[in-house]
Structure 1
Amino acid sequence: MPATPSSASPSVPPFDPGDPLGIDDLLTDEDRAVRGTVRQWAADRVLPQIAQWYEDGELPGIRELARELGSIGALGMSLTGYGCAGASAVQYGLACLELEAADSGIRSLVSVQGSLAMYAIWRFGSEEQKQRWLPGMAAGEIIGCFGLTEPDHGSDPAGMRTYAKKDGGDWVLNGRKMWITNGSVAGVAVVWARTDDGIRGFAVPTDTPGFSAPEIRHKWSLRASVTSELVMDDVRLPADAVLPEVTGLRGPLSCLSHARYGIVWGSMGAARSSFEAALDYAKHREQFGRPIGGFQLTQAKLADMAVELHKGILLAHHLGLRMDAGRLRPEQVSFGKLNNVREAIEICRTARTILGANGISLEYPVMRHATNLESVLTYEGTVEMHQLVLGKALTGLDAFR
């Protein structure tokens, strides 16, 4: 029998508390370079100010931030052509993780721009639409938003009331959309509406008469993010505003699947930030004459948090490899979104208990991540919706209706 390597074998690296499963061994040099670039940008531009932005409930300088994100290739980064970086799905996921380790609102800005608005135009738009919008969006010079959710229709988009009617050679759009990230600062809105021929997508310039996007205030989650309502009152659009390559819910749902993939990674960024804060605190906070990290109950919490965190990252990496191979199914994305966001919230809550009263302070990232993840848990499909997606896939029985 071959000899079992000892713990002192030079082929076995030392245990790394930051990467206990050795997941970095699965990454390429290019993967690490992408991750390093995004991590450094977030450390320089977001982390020094994010607590104040969150407390103030605003994201100042969002247009400048978008241009900076464009300059490092983070906008539409997994798309090809039109100024997009053409990065792998794994690299896009690593970027989402690093952005959400800074704040969920920053990752949401990037996800909505690239995985929803840009992706919809890239996949379903005409060549003229792609040339008009995508280069500016990839550079961060044009911010996009994605209008699907309505005040009365969230989990059931088939019930949407927004309607587009043909009027000669034009379309006339009427309706409301709700909880729209980037809406108040967007230059183009991808809006989904009912038509006589089924659900269609429209690339709507936000300076079109009849279009407005009042910002939603008084949020207790995603406070460092622009969230808006979209209001369309007789918005007249030319015939070429419609996305020509898709009809029906397949269009917006495929965009959502792409965005959910980014959340699978991003939620682990929020979890990692909270875990690292708790680990550092546990090693330095003293009670009863020694660091609290030396007590069994605290170590049990840290061990359980580390297990779920790195399982989640491993799951995200696996899904990224499947996406890069063209083999990722929507049910698998639901698997990842359901597990990782749910576990990320639990990691944040456990981290808060380790920090005690300090856990509610914005001097630490934990409570900010926890409240942000309450929104992440809901958007791009609630827990219940992803449970039912998986339930249908497992049983073959549809519980939605």
Structure 2
Amino acid sequence: MAVINRIAGFAEDMAGWRRHLHMHPELCLECHETAAFVVARLREFGVDEIHEGIATSGVVGVIRGQGDGPVTGLRADMDALPMEEATGAIWASTVPGRMHACGHDGHTAMLLGAARYLCETRNFAGSVVLIFQPAEETIGGGRIMVEEGIMDRFGVEEVFALHTDPFGDLGEFRTCPGPIMASVDDFELTLIGKGGHAAYPQECVDPIPCALAIGQALQTVVSRNTDPLGSLVVALSQINGGTAKNIIPERVEMAGTVRSLDPKVRDMAERRISEIIAGQAASYGVRAELNYMRTYPPTVNHAAQTRFAVDVAREVSGKVVDDLPPEMGAEDFSYMLEARPGAFLFLGQGKGPSVHHPAFDFNDAAAPYGASFFARVIETRHGRGR
């Protein structure tokens, strides 16, 4: 139960890579400087194949071991968030309005560390496919990379990923089989009535009472249409309408998000939300324009691969939780787990500010644990080369 000595030996290098990336955050698919940094390191390490420009700025590297054997994918996300940093670190973001507030700089550094070790040792059969992915925070770069064929193109059989965890102890791995994170659906609704002077409501069709009724009725999707033991979030997070106290507006705009762990619950929620909006709009005499958008599916770990990952994690750390309750956040690694068997784990970095908080910063002390996990996944699953 220990971090790999060689990886511990270059922990300062991983910290340097991570802090460089932290200072130069990029958004969505436009992670070109980050990708160039990754490619430069992979070339230094001697990675056998490097493929650029997947999903605009994604990178795939291939390390060949000794002889024929399995092909395993290891994934790290690279993109940052559009927010101001408040860490006060000397390596804080140099780009106004952008920061690595979700640890993707650390994920990238950990996978680079594993790549360096695996290139040096080659103590495995088969091949490792290193997946450096943009746009996890926005439009689903994982989906785009899968749609562009990386699983078939590189022969990936199983795939694994880590995410830093500011709620777990340093070096603690936490995961579970089955659903570990939720799906994400978003909706945008416009209610259109007839505006006019608030002193003459009889001459108007007021969309505000309809908006209020919809807001209340949507909560019955959770409280009355979902099994109490199930998991569903229906959050109405935006209502915008009106410009003055004495004007009835013509329209009200609303938006929200829906999170679930079960595809059947997801289908039910979409259906009931649509029915509630249509019914309330009809009863208030307004026109409803609903745009319901399905995005990330649930992140569902495969049972056998999760058991394997837990065993590997125990080799690296004495702190492993294998029955983590699912959470309602989301992750676009879900698309890769739909395409191939695999597992997603959280890696504790010590308790501190949450991800997506302006004071969040990846703890570089966690990187040797993550890099060692990735390396041991390969050496354990692939065995020794011949």
Q: What is the TM-score when the length of structure 1 is the normalising length?
A: 0.26
More helix, by proportion: 1
Greater CA radius of gyration, 1 or 2? 2
